[in-house]
Amino acid sequence: MRDHGGSATSVTSAAPRCSGRATSVPRCPLVITLRSAQKVTTASRGLARWCQLPLPSSSSIRIDDDADASSEGGALVPTSRDVAKLAGVSQSTVSYVLSGKRPISPETRKRVEGAIAQLTFQPNAGARALASQRTQVIGLVAPFGVTSDHSGLLPFIETIARSVRDHDHDLLLVTNDEGADGLVRVAGRRIVDALVVMEVEARDERIPVAAGLDVPVILIGVPDERAGLPCVDLDFHAAGALAVAELAAVGCRSAAVLGYSSAEIDRGINYVPRFLEGVHAGAARLGLPLTVVSPVELERASVDAALDEVLSVESDEGELPGLVLPHTEGVAGVLRALADRGLVPGRHLGVVAMSTDAAAEEFTTPLTNVSLEPRDVSRRAVETLFRLLEAPADAEAPGIELVQPRLTRRASTALPPALAAAQLTA
Amino acid sequence: MRDHGGSATSVTSAAPRCSGRATSVPRCPLVITLRSAQKVTTASRGLARWCQLPLPSSSSIRIDDDADASSEGGALVPTSRDVAKLAGVSQSTVSYVLSGKRPISPETRKRVEGAIAQLTFQPNAGARALASQRTQVIGLVAPFGVTSDHSGLLPFIETIARSVRDHDHDLLLVTNDEGADGLVRVAGRRIVDALVVMEVEARDERIPVAAGLDVPVILIGVPDERAGLPCVDLDFHAAGALAVAELAAVGCRSAAVLGYSSAEIDRGINYVPRFLEGVHAGAARLGLPLTVVSPVELERASVDAALDEVLSVESDEGELPGLVLPHTEGVAGVLRALADRGLVPGRHLGVVAMSTDAAAEEFTTPLTNVSLEPRDVSRRAVETLFRLLEAPADAEAPGIELVQPRLTRRASTALPPALAAAQLTA
DNA sequence: CTGAAAGCGCTTACAG
DNA sequence: CTGAAAGCGCTTACAG
């Protein structure tokens, strides 16, 4: 047993003796005796302060700390061996009671559970991982610091963390700074059982590395070459088509897309072309004239230029095109630029944006949006990952799962009676 | 060694034999022989597909897979014992080369490092944790789902994750759904070595629990009763004082605070009173008349009412009060309401908001802000936590660390020449 | 400067 | 339905 930092303090643990290693102050019933006043050290001073006791100058103090008393500074942690002894069963029985991997008689179970409760036993995760080859931890590779804004990231992290907990696992955050090495590290050292890789790029250096790991990996996003790895993502093609279909439905005679920022395009994020293809396909099917301006940067000047270009293409009847705003971060800037021109979404022109519902409702004119469904995508990713984790090695590997986007009509496509009427009679 | 799912496949690993457990396909040099064509199973089919080989009908195939080839589907992972054998040293020497905990001769080191590289050895985290009683994982208890918006949360998570990696540890995310039980679980099972608890409330049920754990805990935020736990937070008192001082400096003759939302107040977040106290103290020192309206909800009606109240208190000279907006989430709504009234920040009245610099610059009129400094706070928290983790048991326990806020003047307090001049001559 | 060996606290065939 | 024991892959006194 380790000394408590000063020879003045001696610790004697009373029965039942725990077999665990002492970190500092045992959690078992104990007696602390301060032997000599002269030799009182910082450690014993600290301890006394902790216990809210005056530091005695030349007497001994007694602390009766019961088993589940929570005093900081370390504890002699009970093991499953202690539980077994107390319950009068073998250690394996304790393990089986915990895991449910074999039938246990009701009486035995009761005794074991009682002992567990009495000792406030909690299984050691490291020992369990070593013996079972399962860490019960999932790694999440999150794209911190790649782009400036990441407000959209949080719902993913949150939902993934919760879903993983629903499967009795924990979530380890792997920042993207480490790149592919991070994947190799957490998988190779068996820190995690499986990985979720977020925001994969079209040609992502992490893909071949991830495919070579001997733990299951799921991608959020769809790279050009997925190397056999399962992917989950929003159906951005459908999202693009949905956006133009809405504009057509409310009577817009043409559509214009104010594209992504060049930062986003340069990163080769695969949803950019997928969304634009969807827009094109949708417009073509509906016979809607389409203009795409891309890239559009977040800066005011770039937004103004793009808007000028788009608004100059008005139709013969002086009608403005319906606007599709795929770039969530840029939406606020475009709306501001519209306001500067005295243009009100839903009155002078239709606007559909890719954004969360919450963000869409925040604007002066609530926006019709196509939701990014981060929660659905995250949940699906985790479900698939656990199916993979539990699947026999010969199971069918899942492919690409696409979550269908959802459009919610709000004021920004509530077009004027004239247009709406035209639409109704059409 | 585990069977590969079908009796038709036998796997023989060539020297050097690895001592690790086979999950599926060994990573060591190996020979795979398909014995009988009739008995080809799904498993062996899957294997063949993987290897990009046609499935032979009645012959045996040979695959020479070298040690660092990365083929999915499992691997016979090398252990430090394999490294030791290959390097001709003892297992303990391998461990010491890795940990640097005792001097190693250059030649020995070279041989060991060579063997590690050759086998692409990575130490098993579970085994290491079990033997060393250190998991190298820090837990972060993040307040997911407590409030609606959490964009402000991300910089904390990001910075904490990075800082923790700088100390060669990983970050485990503990969602707040589990409440105090989550702390007990990850600490008690030794899933983490230490904890960061975010957004602590004034009377937080997690505090006494956290204080009873036998792992170091650091709080971000300052509860009423910190139970001896170290805290790191922004100095909200100073922030409040800084905000009114700025308004006074640019010539405002009175100040008004549009307070927090009742949701935030109800949660008993400790920075609410601290900030307001700072505002009061600052205003008192400067002799600035002060109005505080609180709560102010995020809803338009509430903002309008608060603004009406505040703007009616104009001075004899018809001057409007300077506005302090402590509630980051509510800033956008207040600005919109001001715009509706034709009031421009920095022209008709001064405005100072609590917000990140990035957010402050996003508004039509860039805002003078007092930064929340999430990165500084996070970094300090992690530094203190590791000091705690490495400190001897008798070390001095740290108390409350307050990070000083920083004010950046922008257009919203660039008041009209008349006022500025008045201020200069004063 | 290095090695042999015990031990960390579980799980899981194996045996009954 | 239960137990005895091997073993997971490291670290760390102990010994030289």
Question: How far lies A40's CA from each of A8, A33, A46, A55, A170, in Å?
Answer: 6, 11, 10, 9, 43
Task: Count CB atoms within 10 A of the CB of residue A110.
Answer: 13
Residue A425 has pLDDT above 90, yes or no: no
Task: Give yes or no for a contact between A20 and A48, defined as CB atoms under 8 angstroms apart.
Answer: no
The pLDDT of residue A11 is above 70: no
pLDDT at A385 over 70: yes
Q: Which two tokens stand for residue B278?
A: 């700072």
- Which amino acid appears at position A299 of this protein? E
Q: Is the pLDDT of residue B195 over 90?
A: yes
Complete edge-to-edge strand list for the sheet that includes strand B231-234: A400-403, A231-234, A217-220, A194-197, A137-142, A170-175, B170-175, B137-142, B194-197, B217-220, B231-234, B400-403
Residue matched to tokens 């799962």: A401
| Distance from residue A165's CA to nucleotide C16's C1', rounded to whole Å | 39
> Tell me, what's the pLDDT at B300?
82
User: Tokens 């069977």 correspond to what residue?
Assistant: B3
Q: Mean pLDDT over all residues of chain B? A: 80
CB A228 within 8 A of CB A397: yes
Q: Report the mean per-residue pLDDT for chain A.
A: 80
Q: Which residue in B226, B167, B175, B217 sits closest to B197, CA to CA? A: B217
pLDDT band at B171 (very low <50, low <70, confident <90, very high): very high
pLDDT in tens, B382-404: 999 999 998 876 677 789 999 99
* Nearest residue of chain A to residue B144 (CA atoms): A158
pLDDT at A328 over 50: yes
Q: Is the pLDDT of residue A12 over 60?
A: no
Question: Could you give the CA distance from residue A257 to residue A324 in angstroms, rounded to a whole number?
Answer: 5
Separation between the CA of A182 and the C1’ of C13 (whole angstroms): 35
Contacts of A9 in chain B (CB under 8 A): none
CA to C1' distance (Å), from A35 to C8: 32
| Residue with the larger pLDDT of the pair B278 and B14 | B278
Tell me, yes or no, if the two domains B69-134 and B137-234+376-403 fold the same way: no
pLDDT tens for B330-359 read: 898 899 889 888 899 999 999 999 998 888
Give the pLDDT confidence score for residue A232 in this predicted structure: 97
Residue B327, CA distances (Å) to A191, A295, A322, B153, B223 in order: 40, 34, 35, 14, 19
Give the gap in angstroms from C-alpha A127 to the nearest C-alpha of chain B: 6
Q: In angstroms, rounded to a whole number, what is the distance separating the alpha carbons of residues B113 and B128? A: 19
Q: Is A53 on the interface with B (CB under 8 A)?
A: no
Q: Spell out the residues 6+ positions from residue A334 whose beta carbon is closer than 8 angstroms to its own.
A: A258, A303, A307, A323, A325
A positions 153-192 inside 8 Å of B (CB):
153-154, 157-158, 161-162, 165, 170-175, 177-178, 184-186, 188-191
Output the CA angle B183-B184-B187, nearest 5 degrees. Answer: 80
What HEC string does chain B produce? CCCCCCCCEEEEECCCCCCCCCCCCCCCCEEEEECCCCCCCHHHHHHHHHCCCCCCCCCCCCCCCCCCCCCCCCCCCCCHHHHHHHHCCCHHHHHHHHHCCCCCCHHHHHHHHHHHHHHCCCCCHHHHHHHHCCCCEEEEEECCCCCCCCCCHHHHHHHHHHHHHHCCCEEEEEEHHHCHHHHHHHHHCCCCCEEEECCCECCCCHHHHHHHCCCCEEEECCCCCCCCCCEEEECHHHHHHHHHHHHHHCCCCCEEEECCCHHHHHCCECHHHHHHHHHHHHHHHHCCCEEEECCCCCCHHHHHHHHHHHHCCCCCCCCCCEEEECCHHHHHHHHHHHHHCCCCECCCECEEEECCHHHHHHCCCCCEEECCCHHHHHHHHHHHHHHHHHCCCCCCCCCEEEECCCEECCHHHCCCHHHHHHHHHC
Backbone angles phi, psi at B402, to 5 degrees: -110, 130
Distance B52 CA to C16 C1' (A): 47
> Is residue B16 pLDDT above 90, yes or no?
no
pLDDT number for residue B76: 77
Q: How many CB atoms lie within 10 A of CB B375?
A: 18
pLDDT in tens, A256-309: 999 888 888 887 788 888 999 999 999 999 999 999 998 998 888 889 999 999
CB under 8 Å, gap of 24 or more: what pairs does A111-116 form?
Answer: A111/A87, A112/A83, A112/A84, A112/A87, A114/A87, A115/A82, A115/A83, A115/A84, A115/A86, A115/A87, A116/A83
The candidate with the shortest Cα–Cα distance to B340, out of B301, B291, B297, B298, is: B301
Q: Determine the pLDDT at residue B146.
A: 57
Cα end-to-end distance, chain B, whole Å: 87
**Cβ <8 Å between A158 and B144:** yes
Measured between alpha carbons, how far is B416 from B426 in angstroms, rounded to an integer? 16
> What residues does B292 pair with on adjacent strands?
B257
Chain B residue with the nearest C-alpha to that of A42: B394
Residues in chain B: 426
- Asked if pLDDT for residue B412 goes beyond 50, the answer is yes
| Residue B334 dihedral angles phi and psi, to the nearest 5° | -65, -40
Q: Which residues contact A100 (CB under 8 A, 6 or more apart)?
A: none
**Domain A69-134 part of CATH 2.60.40.1110:** no
Question: Across residues B204-208, what is the average pLDDT?
Answer: 93
Residue A402 φ then ψ, to 5°: -110, 130
Find the CB nearest A214 among B74, B150, B175: B74
Cα–Cα distance between A187 and B221 in angstroms, integer?
34
What is the percent of chain A where pLDDT is above 90? 56
pLDDT level of residue A42 (50, 70, 90 thresholds) = very low
* The pair of three-digit structure tokens given for residue A349, joined into one six-digit string: 């022109």
Bases of strand C lying below 7 A from some protein CB: 1-13
Residue A61 burial (CB < 10 Å; 0-12/13-18/19+)? middle
- The more confident residue out of B418 and B234 is B234
By the CB < 8 Å criterion, does A122 face chain B?
A: yes
Per the model's pLDDT, the better-predicted residue between B186 and B35 turns out to be B186
Cα separation, A209 vs A100, in Å, equals: 36
- Residues B79-137 pLDDT 10s: 999 999 999 999 999 999 999 999 999 999 999 999 999 999 999 999 999 999 999 99
**Structure-model confidence comparison of residues A89 and B318, the more confident one:** A89
pLDDT tier for residue A322 given thresholds of 50, 70 and 90: very high
Which single residue has its CA nearest the C1' atom of nucleotide D3? A90
Give residue A314's pLDDT.
Answer: 56
Residue A3's contacts (CB-CB under 8 Å, 6 or more residues apart) are: A9
- A241 inside 8 A of chain B by CB: no
Distance CA A361, CA A351 (A): 13
Asked whether the predicted pLDDT for residue B364 surpasses 50, the reply is yes
Distances (CA, A) of A365 to A242, A333, A351, B223: 20, 14, 10, 40
- Widest CA span of chain A, in angstroms? 100
pLDDT reported for residue A216: 96
**Amino acid in position B408:** T
Spatial contact of A276 and A259, defined as CB atoms under 8 Å apart: yes
- pLDDT digit string (tens) for A181-228? 999 999 999 999 999 999 888 888 999 999 999 999 999 999 999 999
Q: Per-residue pLDDT averaged across A226-233, rounded?
A: 95
Q: Which fold has domain B236-371+408-416?
A: Rossmann fold (3.40.50)
pLDDT confidence bin for B212, thresholds 50/70/90: very high
Contact residues, A window 303-332, toward B, CB-based 8 Å cutoff: 332
**With contact defined as beta carbons under 8 Å apart, do B170 and B137 qualify?**
yes
Give the closest residue to B242 by CA, choosing from B408, B76, B77, B398.
B408
**B276 vs B422, which has greater pLDDT?**
B276
Per-residue pLDDT at B201: 86
Nearest to A97 by CA among A72, A114, A76: A114
Residue B145 is predicted with a pLDDT of 66
Domain B137-234+376-403: give its CATH code: 3.40.50.2300
User: What pLDDT is attached to residue A301?
Assistant: 86
Q: Hey, where are the domains in chain B?
A: 1-63, 69-134, 137-234+376-403, 236-371+408-416
**Any idea of the CA torsion for A10, A15, A17, A22, to the nearest 10 degrees?**
-30
Residue A181: the pLDDT is: 95
Residues touching nucleic chain D (CB < 7 Å): A 88-93, 96, 102-105, 107-109, 127, 130-131; B 19-21, 77, 79-81, 91-92, 94-96, 98-99, 101, 121-124, 127-128, 130-132
pLDDT score for B396: 75
User: Over the stretch B63-89, which tens digit does the pLDDT of each residue have?
Assistant: 233 333 333 334 479 999 999 999 999
